[in-house]
Amino acid sequence: MKISYHGHSVVLIETGKTRIIIDPFITGNSLTDLDPDTLKVDVILLTHGHNDHVGDTVALAKRNDALVVATFELATYLGWQGVRCHPMHIGGAHQFDFGNVKLTQAFHGSSYIIEEEQKIVYTGMPAGILFQAEGKTIFHAGDTALFGDMKVIGERNIIDVAFLPIGDNLTMGPEDATTASEWLQAKRVVPIHYNTFPGIEQDPVEFTENLSGKKGLFLKSGESMEL
């Protein structure tokens, strides 16, 4: 399994048969190396409905005939736009042919903003994603604050790599993300959701170097790891 990071919260997972992207915010993301017009994906997993996470989902899904997995409200909203969706919700899991997806809670918001109409569309609750395939477990926390049930997630799952937001202001910052990494007991921890916009500037290298057990892993946009 190959896992690559592509700026903000964009994570691409490549299994033996499937290309899965999480939160494909590409257009407007100055930190990404991806081209939305040529990117090939089979599955899109979404943590919540904010524009900087839904990103290019509709265009990618239509061009690739990709399946979108999201919370019920967000999946319904995207389905109205002609996208093939599988709705889920917090605490639920589903075994797909490409792997097992379970949605965990996250403490954040979830809505899609249509700026030209000054309209906010409610898209349900935010989520984290536990993804299991080929004997490996990946946790993408989405946008979230620190919360105590991360201990439970860590106790009940052997997490090979966790992607945690560190930007602060809109999500947990480095200090809380450090605590989250301890509670989750992940073998590797990769920081996400930083430096894309003003107000979330952080030093990802310093964060990873400060994690105990040398489990921190800083990935530049476009860099990958093998599991």
Residue-level pLDDT at 214 = 86
Q: Looking only at Cα atoms, what is the longest distance across the chain?
A: 49
> How far, rounded to the nearest angstrom, does the alpha carbon of residue 33 sit from its chain's CA centroid?
17
Specify the pTM. Answer: 0.98
Residue 198 tokens, joined: 């003003």
Tokens 């400060």 belong to: 210
Mean pLDDT of the chain: 98
In this structure, is residue 88 part of a structural domain?
Answer: yes
Residue 74 tokens, joined: 């967000």
In this structure, is residue 155 part of a structural domain?
Answer: yes
Least confident of 7-11, 74-78, 212-216: 212-216
Taking residues 209-214, report their average pLDDT.
Answer: 91
Q: Model confidence over 91-124: pLDDT tens digits?
A: 999 999 999 999 999 999 999 999 999 999 999 9
Residue-level pLDDT at 83 = 97
Q: Find, among 196, 200, 219, the residue nearest to 53 by Cα.
A: 196
Under 8 Å between Cβ of 199 and 170: yes
Q: Specify the CATH number for the domain of residue 149.
A: 3.60.15.10
DSSP conformation class of 70: E
User: Please, what is the angle between helix 72-79 and helix 57-64, to 10°?
Assistant: 60
In this structure, is residue 162 part of a structural domain?
Answer: yes
What percentage of the chain exceeds 70 in pLDDT? Answer: 100
Tokens 């589903």 belong to: 94
Tokens 């310093």 belong to: 206
In this structure, is residue 103 part of a structural domain?
Answer: yes
If one counts the domains in the chain, the total is 1
pLDDT at 213 over 90: no
In this structure, is residue 227 part of a structural domain?
Answer: no
Q: Give the DSSP letter string of 80-96.
A: TTT--EEEE-TT-EEEE
Q: Is 162 left (phi over 0), alpha (psi -120 to 50) or beta?
A: beta
Segments forming the whole domain that contains residue 38: 2-222
Q: Model confidence over 18-75: pLDDT tens digits?
A: 999 999 999 999 999 999 999 999 999 999 999 999 999 999 999 999 999 999 999 9
In this structure, is residue 208 part of a structural domain?
Answer: yes
Residue-level pLDDT at 139 = 98
